[in-house]
Amino acid sequence: MSKTKRTDVNALGEFGLIKHLTDNHPLRNKSSQYGIGDDAAVIDNGNMQTVVSTDMLVEGIHFDMSYTPLKHLGYKAVVVNLSDIYAMNARPQQITVSIALSNRYSVEALEQLYQGIYAACDFYKVDLVGGDTTSSPKGLVISVTAIGQAAKDKIVYRNGAKVGDLICITGNLGAAYLGLQLLEREKQVYLSDKNMKPDLTERKYLVERILKPEARFDVIQGFANAGVVPTSMIDISDGLASELFHICTQSKVGAFLEESGVSIHPEAQEQAIDFKMDPITCALSGGEDYELLFTINPKDVDKIKFLPDIYIAGEILEESEGIQLHTTGGNMHPIKAQGWNHFNA
Amino acid sequence: MSKTKRTDVNALGEFGLIKHLTDNHPLRNKSSQYGIGDDAAVIDNGNMQTVVSTDMLVEGIHFDMSYTPLKHLGYKAVVVNLSDIYAMNARPQQITVSIALSNRYSVEALEQLYQGIYAACDFYKVDLVGGDTTSSPKGLVISVTAIGQAAKDKIVYRNGAKVGDLICITGNLGAAYLGLQLLEREKQVYLSDKNMKPDLTERKYLVERILKPEARFDVIQGFANAGVVPTSMIDISDGLASELFHICTQSKVGAFLEESGVSIHPEAQEQAIDFKMDPITCALSGGEDYELLFTINPKDVDKIKFLPDIYIAGEILEESEGIQLHTTGGNMHPIKAQGWNHFNA
């Protein structure tokens, strides 16, 4: 290893780092339809294409065992990967799960984790087909790979948004981020006074959003039933601003987002105010909601306007117009990509 | 989590643990051809089948940064997964790589790791199509998933060995294990006296076997050219004894192994004697050689006997006869499965 230069991994950020490491390596196999850069890779098998996505969850970075039940963790580890497959407009069919864990974890702990993994498999109708279980010197690492299928003409990439397309968002945003802030606050309270017992019953929705998120297979099913294929799509794992940036950058377009089109749950509204935060900032920059951001051709608007839980929130503009937020107060603000940066965690 | 019972993960061993956690979950999707229990899972896509394998390498468990160059580590992380795909008689086409690393690692260190990853991609003609890069509180974790293809009638499982089949081994065994012991010894010498500089030039082969193993794509190519399909196959990652046990258990057969049929490299012979170890024990119980163990129908023996680097080393027996080693001294010994147990590491 070169001793002369040392660049901190934080310097590039996660996306910059991946780009830096993987640029200039063209795909060589005919079956490698699409590589790095979308929610999932696409492998050609003839009529149907195979879609593959992988994610790693690390104790102390992505989850805190002091408030994360293992069953929920197993469930979530699967769901975040399935969300990537749905974001390609594909159906997940199989997963593999690799786990490294220290001897602090017992077989019973692993059983809880697998109960959650299988609960997600049951709910989303996927098969656990492989994996690796090994020890780690410290903590728990879970790596999940999800494999799905879709017809070639149904797969939706990030790079297909066109000027004039409508920007749509499923569900509500910011709740998972506020749930996490709440759990972190209650943890600190508990650490300073072990007799304090957190009461989160009034914030059940926020806590569930962070600990046991769901992926929007119902929306993908809705697209199929309505006979509509979005022009671009991404799942909202790093916050709306960051995901909209990915779509605009890869599609070479700008965008206009209407604050009033971004749905925020009443509990999230209240909690944001309690934390003296702006709710729209939580929606734009908070992560882990696992909703979908997609664009559709305006001619398809009648097909999706009666689908539940979909909000039209903006329009795709020329690239030169940048990415802007139109606030409820009537102001225009440029939106900056501000996703979660785990390297700064 | 239940507080009443705590079973240490060591109690079940890796294979027992996986079985315990994944039993009683039948596959539900038509495309899930084969799940947990072989070198790789098999997914049906019509004529061709997709084969998926995943492995996780953890710093302090699977590798020691004090003597593992990062480029070699990246190369090896890919190769051990490709080896699983070849062991299904399939061709790897794509890989995904997920990495968790502490801020002890610089961008330049990651570059070295990816140089190794891409060197393996180039040599084995596979595409890196996805992954995840995140931080870890401590150390480096690499999780690789390999995806391959094969025609349905060419895929070789562990469960197809029949009484009378010949047992074959590629290459030589035990060298990787002895290479690892050597590196560990030199590390201890260096730690006790920093002026000592290890000279491993006379043991270059052993060191290369552990740090930069290769997968036997040449053998798979040889099978295709010779028009032969083994009846069962497994890659030798945990030691010959453990792998032969997997084949016998899953095929419900016994086996007879001839010590003289197990090839051991001269450097490994010398090093074993230097360590006062029995070379055949290193071959039977040492891991990480990534050679192939397979069985063939005796009618195919003419097709493979001129293929380079394949050794006929025994025969499949009735299950009731157990698994036995015929030593060069003329004795018979029952063989016990004694693979690497990372939970005891």
Tens digits of per-residue pLDDT, A80-139? Answer: 999 999 999 999 999 999 999 888 888 888 889 999 999 999 999 999 888 888 889 889
Strands B232-236 and B310-317 come out as unpaired
Q: How far apart are CA A309 and CA A106, in angstroms?
A: 41
A285 contacts: CB under 8 Å, gap ≥ 6: A177, A239, A241, A242, A338, A339
How high is the pLDDT of residue B337?
Answer: 64
Cβ of residue B321 closer than 8 Å to a chain A Cβ: no
The answer to whether B78 and B144 have CB atoms below 8 angstroms apart is: yes
How high is the pLDDT of residue B344?
Answer: 39
In chain B, residues with a C-beta closer than 8 Å to the C-beta of A100 are 56, 58, 61, 141
How high is the pLDDT of residue A345?
Answer: 33
Give the residue ranges of chain B where pLDDT is below 70: 1-4, 9, 13-15, 17, 47, 337-345
Q: How far apart are CA B316 and CA B327, in angstroms?
A: 17
Class of domain A158-344: alpha beta
Q: Is the pLDDT of residue A339 over 70?
A: no
Once rounded to an integer, what is the mean pLDDT over residues A313-317?
A: 97
How high is the pLDDT of residue A9?
Answer: 66
Chain A interface test: which of B78, B82, B94, B138 (most A C-beta within 10 Å): B94
Query: Do B135 and A59 lie within an 8 Å CB cutoff?
Result: no
Query: Which of B21, B53, B106 is nearest residue A8 as measured by Cβ atoms?
Result: B106
Cβ of residue B173 closer than 8 Å to a chain A Cβ: no
Share of chain A above pLDDT 70, in %: 94
Cβ of residue A115 closer than 8 Å to a chain B Cβ: no
The answer to whether B217 and B290 have CB atoms below 8 angstroms apart is: no
Q: How far apart are CA B207 and CA B183, in angstroms?
A: 7
What kind of architecture, by CATH, is found in domain A9-154? 2-Layer Sandwich (3.30)
Once rounded to an integer, what is the mean pLDDT over residues A161-168?
A: 98
Query: Do A109 and B1 lie within an 8 Å CB cutoff?
Result: yes
Facing residues of B317 across strands? B254
Cβ of residue A14 closer than 8 Å to a chain B Cβ: yes
Q: How far apart are CA B111 and CA B270, in angstroms?
A: 37
Once rounded to an integer, what is the mean pLDDT over residues A259-277?
A: 95
Query: Which of B70, B99, B149 is nearest residue A31 as measured by Cβ atoms?
Result: B149
Q: How far apart are CA A103 and CA B70, in angstroms?
A: 27
Query: B203: alpha, beta or left, given left = phi > 0 and alpha = psi -120 to 50?
Result: alpha
| φ, ψ dihedrals at A200, nearest 5° | -110, 15
Q: Among all residues of chain B, which has the CA nearest to that of A26?
A: B127
Q: Among all residues of chain A, which has the CA nearest to that of B96?
A: A54
Cβ of residue B157 closer than 8 Å to a chain A Cβ: no
How high is the pLDDT of residue B20?
Answer: 75
Query: Which of B52, B55, B141 is nearest residue A141 as measured by Cβ atoms?
Result: B141
- DSSP-derived secondary structure letter, B207: H
How high is the pLDDT of residue A251?
Answer: 96
Does CATH number 2.40.440.10 belong to domain B166-344?
no
Q: Angle B216-B41-B151 (CA atoms, 0-180°, nearest 5)?
A: 65
Instruction: Identify which of A15-29, A192-206, A322-336, B276-290 has the greatest average pLDDT.
Output: B276-290
Report pTM: 0.89
The answer to whether B213 and B290 have CB atoms below 8 angstroms apart is: yes
Compute how many other C-beta atoms are within 10 angstroms of the C-beta atom of residue B273. 11
Where along chain B do its domains lie? 9-154, 166-344
- DSSP string spanning A242-277? HHHHHHHHHHT-EEEEEGGGS---HHHHHHHHHTT-
pLDDT level of residue A275 (50, 70, 90 thresholds): very high
Residues 51 through 110 of chain B touching chain A, CB cutoff 8 Å: 52-56, 58-62, 69-70, 93-94, 96, 98-101, 103, 105-110
The answer to whether A70 and B1 have CB atoms below 8 angstroms apart is: yes
Q: Among all residues of chain A, which has the CA nearest to that of B111?
A: A21
Q: Which helix (H) or strand (E) holds B56?
A: strand B48-58
Cβ of residue B134 closer than 8 Å to a chain A Cβ: yes
Q: Is the pLDDT of residue A343 over 80?
A: no
Q: Is A250 exposed, middle or buried (0-12, 13-18, 19+ CB in 10 A)?
A: middle
Strands B127-135 and B91-101 come out as parallel
How high is the pLDDT of residue B264?
Answer: 97
Angle, in degrees to the nearest 10, between helices A204-211 and A175-192: 100
Residue A18, token pair as written in the block: 């991946």
Compute how many other C-beta atoms are within 10 angstroms of the C-beta atom of residue A220. 24
The answer to whether B254 and B321 have CB atoms below 8 angstroms apart is: yes
Query: Do B43 and A93 lie within an 8 Å CB cutoff?
Result: yes
Chain A interface test: which of B95, B133, B144 (most A C-beta within 10 Å): B133
Query: Do B41 and A135 lie within an 8 Å CB cutoff?
Result: no
How high is the pLDDT of residue B104?
Answer: 87
In chain A, residues with a C-beta closer than 8 Å to the C-beta of B23 are none
In chain A, residues with a C-beta closer than 8 Å to the C-beta of B25 are 118, 121, 128
Tens digits of per-residue pLDDT, A122-146? Answer: 999 999 888 888 889 889 999 999 9
Q: Provide the sign of the torsion angle of the four alpha carbons A105, A108, A112, A114, taken in this order.
A: positive
Average pLDDT, chain A: 89
Once rounded to an integer, what is the mean pLDDT over residues A203-223?
A: 96
Q: How far apart are CA A290 and CA A305, in angstroms?
A: 21
Closest CA to B238 of B169, B136, B341: B341
Residue A103 DSSP SS3: coil
Q: Rounded to a whole number, what is the distance in Å from the CA of A108 to chain B's nearest CA?
A: 6
Question: In angstroms, what is the C-alpha Rg of chain A?
Answer: 20
In chain B, residues with a C-beta closer than 8 Å to the C-beta of A19 are none
Q: Among all residues of chain B, which has the CA nearest to that of A137?
A: B60
For residue A269, the number of C-alpha atoms closer than 13 Å in the C-beta half-sphere is 6
The answer to whether A147 and A94 have CB atoms below 8 angstroms apart is: yes
Query: Do B43 and A1 lie within an 8 Å CB cutoff?
Result: no
Tens digits of per-residue pLDDT, A6-33? Answer: 777 677 766 676 777 777 777 777 777 7
